[in-house]
Chain A
């Protein structure tokens, strides 16, 4: 009897619509998941023992800080931004700094709001090494 009912057109329609709805739900969820994990796979791609230790500590903390961070809207926004940058640079590549190669130029803004170029700083320091320290307040 069960076989007969499965073959019934009505059941096929139900199954098809269920599958369709499931795929509709799964696709955006997969996409969300992709953005969420992106920061770890290509955003900053940290590796090494210190990073492993950090992740282990976060995962084992009793206040679920790691998971709370992962589920925050801010984390999603950051991951999404990194994801967009990654694909933008994949499709529209720019000269990227590589060890042993010419340092790429970049537009900078000084504290007075004037436009400067990294090439000028490199030219000014000529024979002495120029240490570039890149970062932010947070």
Chain B
């Protein structure tokens, strides 16, 4: 769903012949289920994609390294930046463990719920399709 949104609405080099109508920025915040913190070994995803090996970040460099690893492991095409070590984004946007926002003209126009249960990319896609028309295939909703 995330890539569906990115490629159909936000890809800066064009979205299937149409120009991008939004910008997609991913902010890497502190880990939700780090190996040395609230790890979920029973989770089926715990061992997939090297998740089991992610430790809580102790320094900013570690956070950047993990973000890079994430980018490489998932061939993540979107723009990625990290939250500062003061947890600025986390404090001001209540981002942990995962959350979505849409900002237009400096104003918060969409505020998603806290993940994983209220992290709904489908709502973002609905918001975009209402304004810019439905692009791409209708994918599974989460």
- By a beta-carbon cutoff of 8 Å, the part of chain A in contact with chain B is 39, 43-48, 50-51, 54, 63, 65, 68-69, 72, 74-75, 77-78, 82, 85, 89, 94-111, 113, 115-116, 118, 121-138
A-B contact pairs, 28 of them (CB 8 A): A44-B115, A46-B118, A69-B40, A96-B91, A96-B92, A97-B92, A99-B110, A100-B107, A101-B108, A103-B101, A106-B92, A109-B60, A111-B82, A128-B23, A128-B104, A129-B23, A130-B23, A131-B22, A131-B23, A132-B25, A133-B78, A135-B27, A135-B32, A136-B29, A136-B32, A137-B54, A138-B34, A138-B51
- On whether A113 and B60 interact (CB within 8 A), knowing A97-B108, A133-B27, A135-B115, the answer reads yes
- On whether A48 and B104 interact (CB within 8 A), knowing A108-B82, A135-B98, A138-B33, the answer reads no
**Contact status A133-B25, CB under 8 Å:** yes
CB distance from B10 to the nearest CB of A (A): 7
Contact with A along B35-55 (1 / 0, CB 8 A): 011111010000000010010
Q: Which residues of B contact A126 (CB under 8 A)?
A: 105
Q: Which residues of A contact B98 (CB under 8 A)?
A: 134-136
- On whether A116 and B22 interact (CB within 8 A), knowing A44-B97, A132-B103, the answer reads no
| A108–B2 alpha-carbon span in the complex (Å) | 22
CB distance from B26 to the nearest CB of A (A): 5
Q: Which residues of A contact B122 (CB under 8 A)?
A: none
Contact with A along B1-32 (1 / 0, CB 8 A): 01001000010000000001111111111111
Please classify the interface of chain B as helix (H, G, I), strand (E, B), loop, or mixed, using the class held by over half of its residues.
mixed
- On whether A96 and B26 interact (CB within 8 A), knowing A106-B88, A113-B64, the answer reads no
**Contact status A77-B103, CB under 8 Å:** no
Choose one: A94, A103, A124; the contact of B108 (CB below 8 Å): A103
Q: Which residues of A contact B116 (CB under 8 A)?
A: 46
The residue in chain B whose Cβ has the minimal distance to the Cβ of A138 is B33
| A106–B94 alpha-carbon span in the complex (Å) | 12
| A68–B43 alpha-carbon span in the complex (Å) | 13
Q: Which residues of A contact B90 (CB under 8 A)?
A: 85, 134
Q: Does B81 contact A (CB under 8 A)?
A: yes
CB distance from A12 to the nearest CB of B (A): 46
| A39–B96 alpha-carbon span in the complex (Å) | 11
